[in-house]
Amino acid sequence: MQVLVYGAGQLAQMMYLEGCPMGIEVLAVDVKNEQVVHPVTKQTVDITLEQAIENAVALTVEFEHVPEHLLEQASRSGKLLPSIDTVLAGADRVREKRLLTKLGVANCPHQVVTNIHQLDDCVEDLGERLILKASRDGYDGYGQWRLTAHSGLAALKSTLQGLDLATVPLVVEQMVDFDREISIIGVRDKLGNTRVYPLAENLHHKGQLHVSVAPALNITDSQQKQAESIFATLAEGMDYVGVLAIELFQCGEQLLVNEIAPRVHNSGHWTLSGSDVSQFNNHLRAVTGLPLGQSNALNVNAMVNVIGCSSFSSDLLSIPGCHLYWYGKTAREKRKMGHINLTAENYTELGDKLLSLSEYVPLEHFPKLVEEAKRLKSLSVA
């Protein structure tokens, strides 16, 4: 049984590794040259894209920004899961906002800007604290700008002057005061069966995810049910098949959707060592028609991204419950090189293990590590 993944990065690699024990062969498409490659070695496979589509039982994506002509070709096969409309909604913030509005899912107050002069109306209607996001091709903090006071509006307009907003509009959001960022990851199969993983708490630095902790601390039953309801509304509304990630702002008891990702997600990497069945395994089960696996957390977990760094002590593997996942990339600034999962019996122990990890890595590349370790210990004691 073959599954073809559009995109040949680390997510396709992890799907390949999770598929092998189930007898699922995962191939990847390098969307830059449209060649079929091995997801781990990246070596070209002696098969055309058309042949790979014909041979596969399912086609899926590891990221949203797949060229539309490739998505259209995949969709014509009748094997693309999730659907092309869902993938396009994840790739375009305007489509995403329209989807959330259509399904009645709470999200940040916003406006769509296609002309720079509309920013005055945004300030008038949404206030002077705004975050501006390019509707396409923005991720990990790229394609975003902030306005924190009306006095900065002229300078912001000058910065944006050269952008073709008619082609790539801006989504201008009110900068909400949130307590923290969390995410829910769930999976839905072709029959409508679902599994949902525990909420994860996510810590970002300069727009990139650095640390996730799952299950998130101090989640009320109301918040968990609210997050699961949001997942159910979106998954059913899109007739979704596969893993869906939803990034949320917690504002007191209310949860607002920040973004959706129609794929396996960075904040779910903890499931590789911390859940009975990982998000990658469950995604493959969903798209191939296999029964879904359990999504419970076996431990308390932390996932630490290794970003822009390839030099650290391998002795970190001496930490009990430490698991290293390396992507095999050449290092560059802001590039995700791998991730480290830590499992523990409780949050105090998890904090201790994060502190131990800090002794083996260059802390300039891990700016949230010590801070989160100390926070976990203080919160779990309190």
The predicted model gives 132-155 an average pLDDT of 86
**Is 116 found in the same domain as 264?**
no
Classify residue 99: in a domain, yes or no.
no
C-beta neighbour count of 135 within 10 angstroms: 22
Q: Quick one: 157 and 191 in the same domain?
A: no
Judged by DSSP in three states, 85 sits in helix
Tell me the three state secondary structure of residue 29: strand
Q: Any idea what the CATH number is for the domain that residue 128 is in?
A: 3.30.1490.20
pLDDT for res 137: 78
User: By residue range, what is the domain housing residue 354?
Assistant: 180-381
CA distances from 101 to 88, 112, 125, 226, 251 (A): 16, 13, 18, 17, 19
Taking CA atoms, 316 is separated from 137, 263, 273, in Å, by 35, 30, 16
Domain total of the chain: 3
Percent of the chain at pLDDT exceeding 70:
98
- pLDDT of 142 reads 73
Distances in Å between the Cα of 93 and the Cα atoms of 88, 125, 169, 241, 335 are 9, 20, 9, 21, 23
- 139 confidence band (pLDDT: 50, 70, 90): low
Other Cβ atoms less than 10 A from the Cβ of 85: the count is 15
Largest CA distance in the chain: 60
Do 164 and 187 sit in the same domain of this protein?
A: no
Q: What's the chain's average pLDDT?
A: 95
Q: Report pLDDT for 106.
A: 96
In this structure, the answer to whether residues 150 and 75 fall within a common structural domain is: no
Tell me what pLDDT residue 381 has.
53
Residue 57 resides in a domain:
yes
What is the DSSP secondary structure assignment for residue 366, as one 8-state letter?
Answer: -
User: Which pLDDT score, from 0 to 100, does residue 382 have?
Assistant: 45
Same domain, 329 and 254: yes
Is the pLDDT reported for residue 141 higher than 70? no
Q: How far apart are CA 173 and CA 112, in angstroms?
A: 9
**Does residue 57 share a domain with residue 36?**
yes
335 plus 235 within the same structural domain: yes
pLDDT at 140 over 80: no
CATH at residue 58: 3.40.50.20
Quote the pLDDT of residue 89.
Answer: 95
Give the tens place of pLDDT for each residue, 63-98: 999 999 999 999 999 999 999 999 999 999 999 999
Q: Are residues 278 and 146 in the same domain?
A: no
Average pLDDT over residues 282-303: 98
- Range with lowest mean pLDDT among 34-43, 138-147, 314-323: 138-147
What are the pLDDT digits (tens) for 231-260? 999 999 999 999 999 999 999 999 999 999
